[in-house]
Structure 1
């Protein structure tokens, strides 16, 4: 890289990093990276927005793709030079494939897409990333921004259906399903909420100890005006009859019994206390204190 700077940057005096006279824990940077950063400081001091400065940001990014200052400076150069931002999307795609959980990359892509005001490439791009890691938090956060910003709701439920068919334990897909139902501009009907409760119940039967569909169904019920937690009693009893021990089902029964106990049912109060004891002593001992607290609430 030394020859690169000698040929292209002889008009600038590089500015080395200054950690003071006696740095406590100096970082042993790669020699090429240190040299590139020294020239970057000189460029930034001049606020130079040129082709060579753009090229310099790429060289630094390839050494350190998490350097947010470099990404921000690159944005300023791209916009000032009116560069082809679709080519920049291709560059970002290559970077994300190698660094899929790099926040700075995802933010840079969002800035570029906003500038283009064109989301046509984004859902296929995110799908590709999720195919390698279906729980990539950054990809999901970005996907939600794209869908909400550009009103791309129509096919998202089918996309999530496919993910949950592949892996019912994909908590990120469950979160996305909730986002689709409640964060678009259309208020969900009670009919849709009832369908979603049944959808969740069907998935629970596939993996009774998977907490995600339990939380999803409870979240749907909490938003419904017509359903309450007792709608899950049949499911919990069915699992019990099949001798399937699910502490999520038992915990759900505690919720059901408590709701009835508050309305004066002594029988449900006693059932709730008994179930809390069962969870505390046998089936969910790691949360023993929590179930003891729930028992005290019932008493």
Structure 2
């Protein structure tokens, strides 16, 4: 804290701290050597499993140890236990990884181990297996929602959520997921992962005919418009807006959205995302909906003016804008 004199450590205290750190490192290296030796010699015992728990607790990013742990389970432990015991072991594994995720929410190997656990539930228990899967897949969806409550932009959690939804017994409702992304986006418009998830869900709903594309797109444009006006300098909503526009097949929509962005640009004249989007959409008009030479000249001039402005406010990408100006 400012104004508070830091206590000076004695030479003895510094030496003691260094010794402690050295002992800790030596312990870690010794444990690592032991586990790697057991891995090399195909030691698939309970003792080896316990040692991997210790090592992964110290370093959950040690991916080869996660692989070894799965080998211990499948080669050494599962063959000696009943299907019910395997289920109990897998539940313990899920509990272990969740404890790791609280401290390391973006370590891929932990999420990957959860997937492995859920994919190795025994299939020879009839209705009991079905009930186990239904209960625990539902728990997984709840668990990942809690992770996203803690960090709504954790893309590992979003990827895992998509995996859970695709794997759950019975079809997960895309309509429910659309509502979930709405909730996440409205709580934070800069949530790129939620916008990305929304593209996946809407694409599915449109492809199956569950949702009318034309009507729902108008609603989406209204939603993203709110985001653009709240924070025009955030890239997430602009990327989503461009996804909605696509290749610009509808001239009416293109012109309408250009007008929306031009109005925003009047309020935020130095917002590069406004200028880039205007240039991109005017180029789409130029490519597909230019009906005469006067319109073409006007659009080219407008794009050149926008690109010149972009060179001024975003000089690090000057060469890119110069290249885009070659019509």
Range of TM-score over shorter length: 0.7 to 0.9
Give the Cα separation in 1 of the matches to 2:268 and 2:166: 43
Question: 1:276 touches 1:291 (CA, 8 Å); kept in 2?
Answer: yes
Aligned partner of 2:257 among 232, 247, 253 = 232
CA contact (8 A) 1:200 1:213 kept: yes
Residue 71 of structure 2 is matched in structure 1 by: 76
Distance 1:273 1:39, change over 3 A: closer
Structure 2 CA distance for partners of 1:41 and 1:213, relative to 1, 3 Å: closer
Question: What is the match of residue 249 of structure 1?
Answer: 274
Distance 1:48 1:241 in 2: 69
RMSD over aligned Cα atoms:
2.7
Write 1 or 2 for the structure with the bigger share of helix: 2
Q: May I ask how many residue pairs the two structures share in their alignment?
A: 270
Unaligned runs of 5+ in 2: 1-21, 79-85, 122-132
Residues in 2 aligned to 1:236 and 1:177: alpha-carbon distance in whole angstroms: 22
Following superposition, the deviation at residue 46 of structure 1 comes to 4.1
Q: Does 1:142 align with 2:160?
A: yes
Secondary structure at the counterpart of residue 152 of structure 2: coil
Q: Secondary structure at the match of 2:244?
A: helix
Say if 2:138 is the partner of 1:120.
yes
Corresponding residue for residue 186 of structure 1: 208
TM-score (norm 2): 0.73
Go from structure 1 to structure 2 and tell me whether the alpha carbon gap of 1:62 and 1:253 turns closer, same or farther (over 3 Å shift). closer
Asked whether the 8 Å contact 2:232–2:271 carries over to 1, the reply is: yes
Separation in 1 of the partners of 2:112 and 2:274?
A: 40
Measured against aligned partners, the alpha-carbon deviations of 1:146-189 in whole angstroms (never above 9, x if no partner) come to 22333433422222222222211122222222222225663662
Q: Deviations over 1:53-87 (max 9, x none)?
A: 22121112122211212211212233342332112
Which position in structure 1 is the counterpart of 2:240? 216
Partner residue in 2 for 1:286: 316
The alpha-carbon distance between structure 1 residues 203 and 122, as it changes in their structure 2 partners (threshold 3 A), is same
Shift of 1:275: 2.0
Q: What's the secondary structure of 1:53's corresponding residue?
A: helix
C-alpha distance in structure 2 between counterparts of 1:65 and 1:110, whole Å: 16
Give the whole-Å Cα distance in 2 for the aligned partners of 1:294 and 1:45. Answer: 56
Q: Gapped runs of 5+ residues in structure 1?
A: 1-26
1:243 to partner: Cα distance: 5.5
Alignment partner, residue 133 of structure 1? 151
User: Is the contact made by 1:193 and 1:224 (CA closer than 8 Å) also made in structure 2?
Assistant: no
* Aligned-partner Cα distance in 2 for 1:210–1:126: 26
What is the CA–CA distance in structure 1 between the aligned matches of 2:67 and 2:54, rounded to whole Å?
Answer: 15
**Alpha-carbon distance in 2 for matches of 1:93, 1:40:** 23
Alignment of 1:94-113 (within 5 A): 94-113=99-118
Q: CA deviation at 1:190?
A: 2.7
Output one character per residue of 1:110-136: Cα deviation in whole Å (capped at 9) or x when no partner.
Answer: 111222354222222122222332222
For 1:201, the equivalent position in structure 2 comes to 225
Secondary structure of the structure 2 residue equivalent to 1:65:
coil
Contact 2:254 2:285 in 1 (8 A): no
Q: Does structure 2 retain, via aligned residues, the 8 Å contact 1:239–1:245?
A: no
TM-aligned CA distance change 1:245 to 1:41, over 3 Å: closer
Separation in structure 1 between the aligned mates of residue 39 and residue 285 of structure 2, nearest angstrom: 67
**Residue 226 (structure 1) shift:** 4.3
Counterpart CA distance in 2 for 1:243 and 1:38 is 59
The worse-fitting range, judged by mean Cα deviation, of 136-145 and 183-192 is 183-192
